[in-house]
Amino acid sequence: MIIDPQWLTIARPLVGLHETPGADHNPEILGMWRAIKRSGIQSEDTPWCAAFVGACLERAGIRSSRFESAASYLKWGVRLDGPAHGCIAVFSREGGGHVGFVVGQDEAGKLLVLGGNQGDSVSIKAFPHDRVTGYRWPVDVSIPSAPLQIGSAETSGSEA
């Protein structure tokens, strides 16, 4: 049995959290910006995947990149050669990047990623390995050696 690192224990209950349609904004998403010391961002219109990852890390007592860019995680923590349960995966996408936590893989080998701003919500989606630009892990935290668990999720279609 694989045990979730603390940041995943914080992230999992947020699955299903959605952006608020219209002029109002979801206070939980705005709280993510505050958690990463970006309280000047007062909108969920700004892509918030890095705010989600950062808030989960900060709430677990781990300093995040404290930046709104997914690519900021390419220089954060330590580099991994491949995915590990709970690691941060940074992805390329048209118009920018994306970041989330690896929680498994599907039977076809796609990564299952728990992330924010995936279809305007916190969800678990499948991502192909060829979109990965880096895997990262917090400094001074033991890296799990267990293989990724097999699961299922629909393939991500929108991260912005």
Q: Range of 32's domain?
A: 6-137
> If residue 89 lies in a helix (H) or strand (E), which one and from where to where?
strand 88-93
Rounded to whole angstroms, how far apart are CA atoms 4 and 114? 12
Inside any domain, residue 149:
no
User: Considering only CA atoms, which of 10, 17, 12, 13 is closest in space to residue 119?
Assistant: 17
Strands 123-127 and 132-137: unpaired
Main-chain phi, psi angles of 8, to 5 degrees: -75, -35
Q: Taking a C-beta distance cutoff of 8 angstroms, is the pair 42, 34 a contact?
A: no
Inside any domain, residue 148:
no
Total structural domains in the chain? 1
Residue 22 pLDDT level (bands cut at 50, 70, 90): confident
Rounded to whole angstroms, how far apart are CA atoms 20 and 35? 19
- The pTM of the full predicted model, rounded to 2 decimals, is 0.94
The reported pLDDT for the residue numbered 160 is: 64
The reported pLDDT for the residue numbered 48 is: 95
pLDDT over threshold 90, residue 126: yes
pLDDT tens across 28-73, in order? 999 999 999 998 888 888 899 999 999 999 999 999 999 999 999 9
The reported pLDDT for the residue numbered 12 is: 98
